[in-house]
Structure 1
Amino acid sequence: MIPELGKYAGTVLSAYGISLLLLLGVVALSVVQWRRMKRRLAAAEARRSNG
């Protein structure tokens, strides 16, 4: 079931596209930060067990 968007189709579809890109960007940024924090935590735990 596809809604009839009429003359607003370009605007609506571009808004959906931009929103999807922004959401994907937030997810990617979260994964990158999670990996970075995981490495930093492992390094801190290694220093603590060695020290």
Structure 2
Amino acid sequence: MTHLPYILASYGLAGSLAVILSVGAALRLKRDRLKLASLEAARGRAQSATQGGQRA
């Protein structure tokens, strides 16, 4: 009897887990980059308003 089905199943599970974690990380990165961009844009607007529209 061969153990090939068990070996393939373990590799399949490991590969699936890697894909799931990678996709989750990519989605979190995209979401957080959008949040950062909106925060930086808001900060830039606040700084220009406090400086009278002039940047140093």
Q: TM-score range by the shorter chain?
A: 0.7 to 0.9
The alignment's C-alpha RMSD in Å is: 1.0
Question: How many percent identity over aligned positions?
Answer: 22
- By relative contact order (CA 8 Å, sep 6+), the higher-ranking structure is 1
In structure 1, list runs of 5 or more residues that go unmatched: 1-5
One-letter identity of the residue aligned with 1:19: A
In structure 2, list runs of 5 or more residues that go unmatched: 47-56
Q: TM-score, normalised to structure 1's length?
A: 0.82
The structure 1 segments of at least 4 consecutive aligned residues displaced by more than 6 Å after TM superposition are: none
The number of residues matched between the two structures is: 46
Find the structure with the greater CA-based Rg.
2
